Structure 1
Amino acid sequence: MAKKYARRTWAEHFLYMVAVSEARGGADSLVLDNIVHHASPELVNVMRFKYEPTRLDYLRHAEELAHFAQSIEHGSSVVGREVVAAHVEGKPKGSITCYRCGRPGHIADDCRA
Structure 2
Amino acid sequence: IKAIIAVASSTCPGVAQAIETAGKIGSVIGTGYCSPNTARSYLKSGAFGFTVLWDPEQLGYLTVWAGKQLIDGKSFEAENKIAGLDKPATYDAAKGILLLGPPAVFTKDNVDKFNF
Report the TM-score, using the length of structure 1 for normalisation: 0.31
Report the TM-score, using the length of structure 2 for normalisation: 0.31
When Rg is computed on C-alpha atoms for both structures, the one with the higher figure is: 1
Identify, as 1 or 2, the structure richer in strand.
2
Highest RCO, 1 vs 2 (Cα 8 Å, sep ≥ 6): 2
